[in-house]
Chains A and B, each alone.
Chain A
Amino acid sequence: MRPGKDIEKVIKQFDIDVNRDRDRRILDGLRQVQAKSKSSEHGFSRVGIGRIIMQSRTTKLAIAAIIIIAVLIGLNPFGGSIDGVSVAFGDVLKNSYKVQSFHALLNSNYEKCELWGKRGNKLRIEYSDGKYEISNGPVMWQVDKKKNKAIKKDSFYYKQAQRKGVDVLDYFLRRHSSEGCSGFFAEEPVEQIKEGGMLLNLYKTELEQYGNKISFEAKVNAKTNLLEYMKYTMVDEKGQSQISELKILEYDATISDQKFAFKPDEGMDVTIHEAKPQQDAVASTGGSTLSGRIVWAKNNKPVSEAILTIIAGKMIKDKNGRNRQEFFKRTETDRNGYWTLSGIPEGNVRIIVRSWELDWPAIPEFTTNIGNDKSPAIVVDGKTKYENLDFKVYKPQDFFARITINVVDENGDPIEGVGGNLSYVDGSIHGHVYAKAERQQFTGKNGRFDADNIWPSKRPVKLHLWTKGKFGAKYATRQAQSEPFIIEPKGEYHFDITLPFVRKVKVRVLGKDGKPVKEVSVSAINNSGMTVFPFYSDVFKGNFTDKDGFAAVSGLAPGEEFFISVQRLDSEKPDPGKPVSSAIFKAAAASDKSMPLKQVVFDERPVRIEGYCLLERPITKGRVVLRLAEIPGENTMPYLWEKIDESGKFTIDGVPATRIKLKVSYVDKKGKYVSVKGTLQVSSGNNYRVKVTEKQIVIEDKGNLTR
């Protein structure tokens, strides 16, 4: 029977549902709150860097640009060049290195501003309401002329540019203003147009994503390959639109440095924010070098400026006391899709390639010896170079697989409320069978579901079914799993399933005198040692024989072999984990729907094991676990367990009279968990004294129990 851990299991069963209508209304309400807070006064209040950044129009454009850039990949691949001079959009943005200055107009949701940028980390943004920002090197001023206020702080633009290793001018023009953004810039223009006396390459796309309609347009000078104009429009499902429009007025105009200087007027309210210390990732000397390439899965074209995050090294505590890995760095792919990063310490390394505006999966082509396809990881030695850590990037429509299932019962009737999990053959989880609208999908009244955003797997997985409500109460779902299969990108998999009803077995418990035994607990244990009946939520209700010695067990699959566990519990403290006496019997459920009767004879004479450990004192975190030897395997569920006190003593009551496996585990002086195992044959009515040494567990003595 189950040990005291059952109360924890029962508590873990505590669960809730939500009223779906109310849920949706709450979410709608939250969106309105969010929208209202966005439209409230922006600007130059005295708050931290983060807030100002959020409210900066320039950042809004930057965000829009990130979306634009990511969305661009939705273009039909052009394939060739226009007039021999077109380039991928990513390379257009990189052409900013050619210019020394720019002058532009920005229209962000109908709020206009004028911008100037000059090489040497200089940027000036003037808003139509009289506010302006000047970023010159590491310092930035935010000025509100009307309120006669100015704030001096670290320049966000400079910081971000430094991280990229570029000038602020490049950083701004390239729109890479956000961490974690990877722009996939492999696409090329759709046509060439003439406008304003210039020949322009037009980049254009329209896309629908998460209910939003997004359109993007960029015009690039075909001669200079410099960006001239960019417009991004997003209309959400409620018809509310966001627009961001950048028009370059001039490149390389002479702009005086005075434009980027600022001295507060006398009497101006000036706030100076202290410079924050740099928070760099822990630098490591030496270390491994990792390198690889990222390409589009569809056409093997390189993905330039994809961002990889590498997390590695041992766990340390950060300044807030939180655990994190010591090494955390980012890098980008070059125009040919190659990336490299050095100084990686020994240990587990996770590599993350993401586009955070659109969820495009990047699948590792190398073998991940740990981790999985969604979070690939490898182990490095801190010295060697690891090459060819390549990734393939998929657009969602080229990637996700589809799983449909059709479930009926043994009578052929559809079953509602069946869900599915996908797990690898080794038991680790691959994921739930997701649907679009909800995280978990269940079969409807027609017994079907259709999930079309299933993550492919490189290793074989199995589909496991489960039903809502008490696990295994009506249908035998424990064994409901498919054969292993590999989920291919865009694969479609259909399963027709018949879920059998659970099988029941009637048990009659008689004493050695042949008379019925009442009020003993009867449960069913499967071949993994797990109690399958009574169900977890009913463990404390128990399942007891009536006055004629009858009880039934359920939750079994057709033909399933199992063990009946009969226990006499202490009426003063009926803990199913600590019986007074117990016995185990083999049984099997019927293959058909019949309910066979299994009659067992319960010898209630108790069996006790008293142990002492000849191990180094004090015994720390010592416990002894008893398993049934008839259930093969090392990791089956325990039948009984007890703690070992510091002096090394323990007592187990209610031991079943059968062959048992004992495992004693404790923490040794070096802080490591150590265990000792032994197998014993015990019989009813006896008290066993066992000796535990570092190498074995042996019976030292045996005697009759007197109670």
Chain B
Amino acid sequence: MLEDKLLILRLKRGCGEALERIYEKYRLYLLKIAAGLSDASIAEDVVHDVFVRLAKKAETLKASGSLKAYLRTCVINGVRNKVRNEKVRSYVELGRAGEIVSVQSGADHWVMLREQSVRLHEALKQIPFEQREVVVLHLHGDMRFREIAKLQQASTKTIQSRYRYGLDKLRSILNCEVQK
């Protein structure tokens, strides 16, 4: 959008106000995607790194590109790297979700999951990463299936299947919790 292009131009010229506007505009969006794909601490690190790189290397931004897509891609790549490096698969039973809320809402944490999101967050972590990525990027990242297909280097049909399977799995995880 034009506002983003203007912000990029201003940012490339070292405008602090532009950096602040970009930060305010996109940090929640990026944190939500990152938190949906991983856990809060990884999300914080990844998004923080993205903004630090933006502040340092604004001159490498292309004024013709989409700022939102650029930031989102940075976050997605960052999360993937972290998740693959750490091989984090935090399998937490839904019953322990209350603990996690209190840990994450400590004074030092940037991201705080809303209470009703904790269970969903834990359920998301129980589905395969590729499915989680498709679900989160489609429903929270505003990405279309063909864009996600390009990202995951798969066909659109595969992405749609991953999405469907992801939703089915989530539904059954959450239903099991209901039944408990």
Chain A residues near B (Cβ < 8 Å): 4, 7-8, 10-19, 21-23, 26-27, 29-31, 33-35, 37-38, 47, 50-51, 54-55, 59-60, 63, 178-180, 210, 212, 236, 309, 320, 322, 352, 354, 356-357, 439, 470, 537, 540-542, 573-575
**For window 1-60 of chain B, which residues contact chain A by CB distance below 8 Å?**
2, 5-6, 9-10, 12-14, 16-17, 19-20, 23-24, 27-28, 31-32, 35-36, 48, 51-52, 54-60
Bound CA span A312–B124, Å: 41
In the complex, are the beta carbons of A12 and B139 less than 8 A apart? yes
Instruction: Tell me whether A15 and B174 are in contact (CB under 8 A).
Output: no
Given contacts A7-B167, A18-B28, contact A34 B36 (CB under 8 A): no
Given contacts A21-B107, A50-B63, A537-B116, 19 further A-B contacts (CB under 8 A): A7-B170, A8-B139, A11-B140, A11-B167, A12-B140, A26-B110, A31-B19, A34-B16, A37-B58, A50-B60, A54-B12, A54-B13, A179-B9, A179-B63, A180-B5, A320-B65, A352-B2, A354-B6, A542-B178
Residue pair B55, A16 in contact (C-beta under 8 Å): no
Contacts of A37 in B (CB 8 A): 55-58
Q: How far is the CB of A155 from chain B (nearest CB, A)?
A: 18
Q: Is the CB of B139 within 8 A of A322?
A: no
Q: A273 CA to B52 CA in the complex, in Å? A: 29
Q: How far is the CB of B69 from chain A (nearest CB, A)?
A: 8
The CA of A86 and the CA of B28, in the complex, are separated in Å by 50
Contact (A16, B23) CB under 8 Å given A11-B120, A22-B108, A30-B55: no
Enumerate 20 A-B pairs (CB-CB under 8 Å) in ascending A order: A7-B174, A8-B167, A10-B174, A11-B139, A14-B120, A15-B32, A18-B110, A19-B109, A22-B110, A23-B110, A27-B20, A37-B55, A37-B56, A50-B60, A54-B14, A180-B6, A210-B17, A354-B6, A540-B178, A574-B175
Whole-angstrom CA separation of A16 from B59 in the bound complex? 31
Interface of B is mostly: helix
Nearest 4 interchain pairs by C-beta:
A356-B6, A34-B55, A33-B55, A537-B116
Would you call B116 and A13 a contact (CB within 8 A)?
A: yes
Known: A8-B139, A55-B59, A322-B66. A17 touches B114 (CB 8 A): yes
* Residues of chain B with a CB closer than 8 A to A22's CB: 107-110
Pick from A12, A27, A212, A322 the residue with the most CB of B within 10 Å: A27
Q: How far is the CA of A63 from the CA of B11 in the complex (A)?
A: 12
- Chain B: minimal CB distance from A378 (Å): 17
Roughly how many angstroms separate A55 CA and B6 CA in the complex, as a whole number? 18
Considering only CB atoms, which chain A residue lies closest to B32 in the complex?
A16
On chain B, the residues within 8 Å of A34 by CB distance are: 14, 16, 19, 55-56, 58
Task: Provide the bound-state CA to CA distance between A236 and B14, in Å.
Answer: 13
Q: Which residue of A lies closest to B48 (CB)?
A: A26
List residues of B whose CB falls within 8 A of some A CB. 2, 5-6, 9-10, 12-14, 16-17, 19-20, 23-24, 27-28, 31-32, 35-36, 48, 51-52, 54-63, 65-66, 105, 107-114, 116-117, 120-121, 124, 135, 139-140, 167, 170-171, 174-175, 177-179
Chain A residue nearest to B108 (CB atoms) is A22
CB of B117, distance to nearest CB on chain A (Å):
5
Q: Check B167 against A31 for contact (C-beta < 8 Å).
A: no
Given contacts A14-B32, A16-B114, A23-B110, whether A575 and B16 have CB atoms under 8 Å apart is no
Chain A residues within an 8 Å CB radius of B178: 540-542, 574
Residues in chain B near residue A309, CB distance under 8 A:
2
User: Cβ of A50: which chain B residues have Cβ within 8 Å of it?
Assistant: 12, 59-63
The winner among B58, B111, B116 for most chain A CB atoms within 10 A is B116
Query: Contacts of A540 on B, CB cut-off 8 Å?
Result: 171, 174-175, 177-178
Interfacial chain A residues near B61, Cβ < 8 Å: 50
Q: Cβ of B170 and Cβ of A18 under 8 Å apart?
A: no
Known: A179-B9, A354-B2, A574-B175. A30 touches B32 (CB 8 A): no
- Residues from chain B with Cβ under 8 Å of A4 in the complex: 171
Task: Report whether A18 and B111 are in contact in the complex, using a CB–CB cutoff of 8 Å.
Answer: yes
Complex formed: what's the CA distance from A54 to B66 in Å? Answer: 19
- Decide if A356 touches B9 in the complex (CB within 8 Å): yes
When distances are taken between beta carbons in the complex, the residues of chain B under 8 Å from A14 are 32, 36, 117, 120-121, 124, 140
- Are A54 and B108 interface neighbours, CB within 8 A? no
- Give the Cβ gap from B45 to chain A, nearest Cβ, in Å: 12
CA distance A67 to B120 in the complex (A): 47
Please tell me which one of the listed residues B57, B112, B121 contacts residue A19 in the complex, with CB atoms under 8 A apart: B112
Whether B24 and A439, one on each chain, are in contact in the complex, defined by CB atoms closer than 8 angstroms, is yes
Q: Report Cα–Cα, A318/B90, bound state, in Å.
A: 42
A residues within 8 A CB of B110? 18-19, 22-23, 26
Closest to A577 in B: B171
User: A56 CB to closest chain B CB, in angstroms?
Assistant: 10
B62 — which chain A residues lie within 8 A by C-beta? Answer: 50
A26 near B51 with CB under 8 A, answer yes
Inter-subunit contact A59/B31 (CB<8 Å)? no
Decide: B112 and A17 in contact? CB cutoff 8 A.
yes
Residue of B nearest to A537 (CB): B116
Residue from the set A4, A8, A309 with the largest chain B CB neighbour count within 10 Å: A8
**Given A16-B28, A322-B66, A356-B6: A33 in contact with B174 (beta carbons within 8 A):** no
Which of chain A's residues has its CB closest to B111's CB?
A: A16
Kindly list chain A residues whose C-beta atoms are within 8 Å of the C-beta of B111: 16-19
Q: Shortest beta-carbon distance, B159 to chain A, in Å?
A: 15
Chain A residue nearest to B17 (CB atoms) is: A210
**Complex Cα spacing A643 to B111, Å:** 39
How many Å lie between the Cα of A14 and that of B17 in the bound state? 30
A280 to chain B, nearest CB (A): 13
CA of A39 to CA of B49, assembled, Å: 21
Who on chain B is nearest to A60 by CB? B13
B76 vs chain A, min Cβ distance (A): 17
Bound CA–CA A329/B121 (angstroms) = 45
Instruction: Considering the complex, give the chain A residue whose CB is closest to the CB of B10.
Output: A356
Is the beta-carbon distance between B52 and A30 smaller than 8 angstroms? Answer: yes
With A14-B32, A352-B2 already in contact, the answer to whether A30 and B19 are too (CB < 8 A) is yes
By beta carbon, the residue of chain B nearest A542 is B178
For residue B14, which residues in chain A have a CB less than 8 angstroms away from its CB? Answer: 34, 38, 54
B58 CB, min distance to chain A CBs, angstroms: 7
Q: Shortest Cβ distance from B11 into chain A, in angstroms?
A: 8
- Cβ–Cβ < 8 Å partners of A51 in chain B: 59-60
Q: What is the chain B residue whose CB lies nearest that of A25?
A: B110
CA distance A14 to B121 in the complex (A): 7
Chain A residues contacting B65 (CB-CB under 8 Å) are 320
Is the beta-carbon distance between B51 and A30 smaller than 8 angstroms? yes
- State how many angstroms separate the Cβ of B17 from the closest Cβ of chain A: 5
For residue A357, which residues in chain B have a CB less than 8 angstroms away from its CB?
A: 10
Minimal beta-carbon separation of A410 from chain B (angstroms): 26
A520 to B67 alpha-carbon distance, docked (Å): 49
- Across the two chains, which residue of chain A brings its CB closest to B6? A356
Cβ B113 vs Cβ A16 within 8 A? yes
Q: How far is B177's CA from A9's CA once the two chains are assembled, in angstroms? A: 18
